[in-house]
Amino acid sequence: MTLPSSHQLTRRATLGALMSLGFAAPALARDGFSLGLGSFSTNDIKNIGKMLKGISLDEQDEIRMGEAYYGPIIDAEGGAYANRSVQASVQRFAAPLFETSTRSSFSWDITVLDNNEINAWALPGGKVAINKGLLRYVDTAHELAAVIAHEMGHVEFSHALSEMKKGSFVDGLSGVTQRTLVSELEGGASAAAGIGMGALRGPLTKLVTSGYARKSELAADQHITTVFEQTGYDVAQGAAFYQTLLETIPKKSKGTTSLFAGHPETKKRLTALLENAPGIQVQAAHPSSWDFEGLKKTFPTRRFFNRHKG
């Protein structure tokens, strides 16, 4: 029977109604994200991990996700640093690094944030951000290149998508928010984005700014070597930034960033990076070196560390 237009339910509303009543939903798909709910009900929060594993995401979803959330997360993390010269210098500096990417469909971009925390992060689709606080502590072009290459690794290997399929991705969210997030993902890229204000924004921001699982961080570290082999930067000099992190962040700090994972773990990552780095023909100079020198005029390297309170 056909209902009058005033009583017709949209496909997504129907799904929401079914889930609110505890009914199982069939596998559904739209132009964006696709989620097969199978026999699970979002009322059963214990099954959230299994439900997330059922999410089917592809490269186009990564692109949409990056485009939708890049601006909103930048705004939430301090906003873009209001200096055109600095932004242009970082973009020129990163361009040769981005050219090494195997993800040709991605529109790579990088922004300096007006944020004093020593951190950098990246969203799916090739969207990278670096805090101005980090620029004050990178001492060489090799160190800045290592930071960018590390964040590129997370994007290259789709680490965010992998983490989104784990139950821990929604830890700390209420049952209602978890159900909303699942519903948004099922509803398509535009629905999940919700102009960057949907339930996905919070856990996605936490994920990219706080870091990934140990295996993913190691893979991103090793991607530094891959990028440096093609660009001629020195892994040993680039890895020195990890030592800076060890000196700037208190040993008992429980907090993590996209680059720092605690003192013992960061030390292990530094050792692994240096041990696995092959002999690379280091270039004496890089076309983008003058861009780095220009950045240092605005952000001189700090020799006395301002320790985070963690």
Given a cut of 60, whether residue 308 has pLDDT beyond it is no
Q: Is the pTM of this model over 0.85?
A: no
Q: Which two three-digit tokens encode residue 131? A: 């805090």
Mean pLDDT of 285-308: 79
Given a cut of 60, whether residue 16 has pLDDT beyond it is no
Mean pLDDT of 66-71: 94
CB-based contact 65:75 (threshold 8 Å): no
| Mean pLDDT (the chain, rounded) | 78
Question: What is the pLDDT confidence band of residue 285, given thresholds at 50, 70 and 90?
Answer: low
Question: What is the pLDDT confidence band of residue 163, given thresholds at 50, 70 and 90?
Answer: confident
Strand partners, 35: 28, 55
CB-based contact 108:128 (threshold 8 Å): yes
The pLDDT value recorded for residue 4 is 39
- In order, the DSSP letters of 167-227 are GGGGTT--HHHHHHHHHHHHT-HHHHHGGGTSTTHHHHHHHHHH---HHHHHHHHHHHHHH
Cβ atoms < 10 Å from Cβ of 307:
10
Between 16 and 203, the more confident residue is 203
Between 167 and 36, the more confident residue is 167
Cβ atoms < 10 Å from Cβ of 91:
16
122: DSSP letter? E
2: DSSP letter? P
Question: What is the pLDDT confidence band of residue 303, given thresholds at 50, 70 and 90?
Answer: confident
Q: Which residues of 290-304 are buried (b: 16+ CB within 10 A; e: fewer)?
A: ebbebbbeebeeeee
Cα 142 from chain centroid (whole Å): 21
- Give the model confidence (pLDDT) of 46-61 as tens digits: 566 666 666 677 898 8
Strands 109-113 and 127-131: parallel
Question: Which backbone phi and psi does 111 adopt, to 5 degrees?
Answer: -135, 140
Lowest mean pLDDT among 1-5, 62-66, 139-143: 1-5
